[in-house]
A and B are shown apart, each in its own frame.
Chain A
Amino acid sequence: MKTSTSNTVHHIVSALVENKPGVLARVAGLFARRGFNIYSLAVAPTNDDEFSRITIVVDAESAPLEQIVRQLDKLINVIEIEVLDNMAVERELMLVTVRVSAESRSETLAATADYNGVVLDEGGDLITVSLGGTSAALDAFTERMGDSVVAYQRTGRVALPRI
Chain B
Amino acid sequence: MKTNGGAALIKSLELEGVDVIFGLPGGAILPVYDPIIDSPIRHILVRHEQGAGHMAEGYAHATGRPGVAMVTSGPAATNIVTPLADAYMDSIPLVVITGQVGTAGIGTDAFQEVDTVGITRSITKHNELVTNAEDIPRVIREAFHIATTGRPGPVLVDIPKDIVDPTNPRSAMEWYWPDSVDLRGYKPITHGDPELVKAAAELISRAQKPVLYVGGGVLKARGSEALVALAELVDIPVVTTLMARGAIPDDHPLCLGMPGMHGNYTAVTAMQQSDLLISLGARFDDRVTGKLDAFAPDAKIIHVDIDPAELGKVRRPDVGIVGDCRLVIVDLIEALRTLGAPENQPDRSAWKSTISGWQEKYPLQYEQSEAGELLKPQYVLEQLRDNTPSDCIVTSGVGQHQMWTSQYWKFNHPYTWINSGGLGTMGFSVPAAIGAKVGRPDRMVWAVDGDGCFQMTAQELVTAAAERIPVKVAILNNAYLGMVRQWQEMFYEERYSEVYLSPDLPDYKMWAEAMGCVGMRVESPEEVLPAIEKANEIDDRPVVIDFRTDAAEKVFPMVPAGKSNSDIVVGPEDK
Contact = CB atoms under 8 A, between A and B. Distances in A.
A75 B185 contact: yes
B253 to A, nearest CB: 38
A25 interface: yes
Interface string A128-155: 0000000000000000000000000000
Nearest to A70: B309
Given A70-B308, A70-B309, A78 B185 contact: yes
B307 interface: yes
Contacts of B309: 67, 70-71, 73-74
Interface stretch (B115-123, B292-300, B376-384): B115-123
A35 interface: no
B557 to A, nearest CB: 32
Interface string A18-41: 100110011001100100000000
B184 interface: yes
Interface string B285-317: 000000000000000000000011101110000
A77 interface: yes
Nearest to B131: A21
A30 B122 CA distance: 7
Contacts of B37: none
B126 interface: yes
Nearest to B311: A70
A30 B125 CA distance: 12
A65 to B, nearest CB: 11
A76 B117 contact: no
A93 interface: no
Given A26-B121, A29-B122, A67 B313 contact: yes
Interface string B101-130: 000000000000000011001100110010
A78 B186 CA distance: 8
B350 interface: no
Given A66-B312, A67-B313, A70-B309, A76 B118 contact: no
Contacts of B184: 18, 79
Interface residues of A, number: 22
B371 interface: no
Contacts of B121: 22, 25-26, 29
B75 to A, nearest CB: 22
B307 A74 contact: yes
A24 to B, nearest CB: 12
Contacts of A30: 122
Contacts of A26: 121
Interface of A is mostly: mixed
A67 B311 CA distance: 9
Contacts of A33: 122
Contact of A67 (B117, B129, B183, B312): B312
Nearest to A32: B122
Given A22-B117, A29-B121, A33-B122, A76 B308 contact: no
Contacts of B118: 22, 25
B212 interface: no
B374 to A, nearest CB: 44
Interface in B173-213: 183-186
A154 B68 CA distance: 47
A64 interface: yes
B432 to A, nearest CB: 26
B185 A77 contact: yes
Contacts of B126: 76
Nearest to A66: B312
A18 B185 contact: yes
Contacts of B311: 70
A22 B118 CA distance: 8
B95 interface: no
Contacts of A29: 121-122
B182 to A, nearest CB: 12
Contacts of A74: 125, 307, 309
B185 A64 contact: no
A17 B121 CA distance: 16
B308 A73 contact: yes
Given A70-B309, A71-B309, A76 B122 contact: no
Nearest to A17: B185
Contacts of A75: 185
B104 to A, nearest CB: 16
Given A25-B121, A71-B309, 19 more contacts: A21-B129, A22-B117, A25-B118, A26-B121, A67-B309, A67-B313, A70-B308, A70-B309, A73-B308, A74-B125, A74-B307, A76-B125, A76-B126, A76-B146, A76-B186, A77-B185, A78-B185, A79-B184, A79-B185
Interface of B: 117-118, 121-122, 125-126, 129, 146, 183-186, 307-309, 311-313
11 contacts: A18-B184, A18-B185, A29-B121, A29-B122, A64-B312, A66-B312, A67-B309, A70-B308, A71-B309, A74-B125, A79-B185
